[in-house]
Amino acid sequence: MSIAQIKSTVEALIRPFLEENQFELVDVEYVKEGKNWFLRVYCDKEGGIDIDDCGRISEYLSNKLDETDPIPDAYFLEVSSPGAERPLKKAQDFTRAVGQHVFITTYEPFDGLKEFEGTLESFDEETLEVQIAKKTHRIPYDKVASARLAIVF
């Protein structure tokens, strides 16, 4: 089973539980680090997720994975919050992040830059507008390589 298939299977297993309990699935990762495989599930909810929530999600998912056994390798299961610098992956993540400080990298330069850190002013599912030092940069959504919320100190 490919990594993409494992991620898709895990998402399908966990989604009903998350929806029933008003949690949001932020991301699923299945990665090899050194000799070990890690299945990481990032979840959130309105007001933030806590360690008890992560424990409930982990227990549910662990039981489902034991029942279906979709992953051939030994792995470590980790369930956690996406953190303060939450990744922005889906269109709804960008919509929710309007008005917040973000860090964005692009596949190619726009306005001479490939990295943008500033306020996400708008997002219309085709273009992001990021304001940096009183200048607004328009970035095509399909040219975003990575994006996350950014903490301002």
Which band of pLDDT confidence, cut at 50, 70 and 90, is reported for residue 84?
confident
Q: Residue range 66-81: average pLDDT? A: 93
Q: Residue range 84-88: average pLDDT? A: 89
The answer to whether the beta carbons of residues 130 and 119 sit under 8 Å apart is yes
Which band of pLDDT confidence, cut at 50, 70 and 90, is reported for residue 94?
very high
Whole-structure pTM value: 0.78
State the Cα–Cα distance between residues 92 and 152, nearest whole angstrom. 22
Which band of pLDDT confidence, cut at 50, 70 and 90, is reported for residue 47?
confident
CATH T-level topology, domain 3-80: GMP Synthetase; Chain A, domain 3 (3.30.300)
Question: Residue 64: enclosing H or E segment and its boundaries?
Answer: helix 51-68
Which band of pLDDT confidence, cut at 50, 70 and 90, is reported for residue 99?
very high
Range list of β-strands (E), 86-126 = 101-110, 113-123
Domain boundaries, the chain: 3-80, 91-149
Q: Is residue 152 scored above 90 in pLDDT?
A: no
Residue-wise pLDDT for 54-70, tens only, equals 999 999 999 999 999 99
Residue-wise pLDDT for 115-142, tens only, equals 999 999 999 999 999 999 999 999 999 9
The answer to whether the beta carbons of residues 114 and 93 sit under 8 Å apart is no
CATH code of 91-149, in short, is 2.30.30.180
